[in-house]
Amino acid sequence: MILSFDQVSKQYSELETAIRQVSFEIEEGEFTALAGPSGSGKSTILNLAAGLDFPTSGTVTLLGQDLRALDKIGLSHLRCNQVGFVFQSYNLFPVLTALENVEYPLALKGVPPKERRKLAEKALEEAGCGTLGKRLPSELSGGQQQRVAIARAIVTTPKIVFADEPTANLDSKTAKMLLEVFKDLNTNKNITFLFSSHDPLVLETAERIIQVADGKVHEDPSNKQQPFIKGLGFRTPPQSLRSTLSYYHS
C-alpha cells in the first residue's frame, strides 16, 4: 500500500467542508483516477495526499509515513525524492529552458551537473519530448509543456505521481496522447499514478476510478476486480464510469 486515506475530512471554514470522512487505499503500481464534477473535492484530496495541506481530521499515510508526523522539511524532502507533481496549467518556470526545468528537482537534490543533464534528457525522452530540451516554455504548445512537466515530475523516479487535471487545458487528442505517456511510465517504470479529471475521455484510460461527489468518495467495487492486462490497451469503461458518463451527458 502506497497511499491511504483513513476517515479524512477537510473543512476550510465552518460553511465549507470540502471532503467528509474519506477513506481509500492505493496500492503500488496502480493507475487511478479521481472522477467527479467541479467543486467535488478532487484537488483537496490530491493536496492532502501530497502533504501540501493537512486534514482537519483523519490520517493520510503516504509511503508508510503518517504525513502529520513529518515536519515541513521532512515533507519537502519526501516530495522532492519520492513524489512527482503535475499541474493543470503546466507551471513550468518560464525563464528556464525545458531541459533546465526538468533539471530543477535534481538540482534541489544536489545531483552533480553532468549526471543531472543526462537524467533530465532521459526523462524528456520518456515523456516524448526529447527534442525540445533547448526551448523555453513560451516556445512550446500546451501539450508539449505538459510533457515537459511530466518529465520534471518523473526525473527523480518517484514512487508516486499526483496529477491534478493534467489534461483540462488540452484538446482531447493531445490529452489522450499524454495519458498514454502516463500509462507507459506506469507500466514500464512501475510509477503509481493518481490523477483527477472530469473528462470522460481521460477517465476511460483509468484502471481504477474513485468517484468523488460532494466531498465523499464511492467506488464501484466491480471495477477493481478486473485487472488491467498489460499490452492489451484499455479495458471497457467499468460500471462506475458509465454512471459518470451519463452524469455528464445528462
Partner 1 sequence: MDRYFLKLSWKNIWRNRRRTLLTINAIGFGVMALVALYNYYDGFHDQVIQNVIRYQSGHLLVTAPDYHKRMATQLFMKDPSEVDTWLSSREEVKAFSHRVMVQGLVSTAQGSANIVFAGIEPEREKDVTRFSGNLIQGTYFNDDTEKPIVLGSELANLLQASLGSKVVALTQGVDGSIGNELFYVSGIFETHSDFDKNMAFVHINDARQLLSLGSQASHQLAVVLKNEEGLESVQQSFVSKFGSGPNLPFQILNWKEVQKPLMAMIELNQSANRLLMFIIIFVAALGIANSILMSILERTREFGVMLAIGTTKKEVVKMVVMETVLLSLVGVALGNVLGFLVTEFFHHYGFDLAWLSSQKLVVQGTIIQTISYPEIRWNNSLLVSLIVLVLSLVVSFIPIKHVSRLNPVNALRAL
Ligand X SMILES: Nc1ncnc2c1ncn2[C@@H]1O[C@H](COP(=O)(O)OP(=O)(O)OP(=O)(O)O)[C@@H](O)[C@H]1O
Summarize as ranges the residues that interact with partner 1 (CB under 8 A): 47, 50, 52-53, 72-73, 76-81, 83-85, 87, 91, 93-96, 100, 103-105, 107-108, 110, 113, 116, 152-153
Minimum gap (Å) between residue 91 Cβ and Mg ion:
14
240 is a site residue for ligand X (CB under 6 A): no
Q: Could you give phi then psi for residue 88, rounded to 5 degrees?
A: -60, -45
Which residue, 15 or 73, is less far from partner 1 as judged by CB? 73
Minimum gap (Å) between residue 52 Cβ and partner 1:
5
Minimum gap (Å) between residue 113 Cβ and partner 1:
7
167 is a site residue for Mg ion (CB under 5 A): no
Q: Which does 38 bind (CB under 5 to 8 A by kind): partner 1, ligand X, Mg ion, none?
A: ligand X
Binding-residue pattern over the window 177 to 206 for ligand X, x denoting contact by CB under 6 A:
---------------------x--------
Q: Which does 205 bind (CB under 5 to 8 A by kind): ligand X, partner 1, Mg ion, none?
A: none
Task: Please report, as a single letter, which amino acid is at residue 71.
Answer: D
Among 32, 43, 167, 223, binds ligand X (CB under 6 A): 43
The Cα 204–Cα 208 span in angstroms is: 10
- At which residue does the C-alpha cell 465523499 appear? 216
| Run of H or E residues at 154 | helix 142-154
* Neighbouring residues of 230: CB distance < 8 A, sequence distance ≥ 6: 187
The Cα 90–Cα 56 span in angstroms is: 29
* Neighbouring residues of 102: CB distance < 8 A, sequence distance ≥ 6: 120, 123, 124, 133, 148, 151, 152, 155
32 is a site residue for ligand X (CB under 6 A): no
The Cα 105–Cα 84 span in angstroms is: 10
Strand order of the β-sheet with 65-66 is: 17-26, 3-11, 57-62, 65-66
Among 7, 12, 54, 57, binds ligand X (CB under 6 A): 12
Residue numbers at the binding site for Mg ion (CB under 5 A): 43
Residue numbers at the binding site for ligand X (CB under 6 A): 12, 16, 18, 36, 38-44, 198
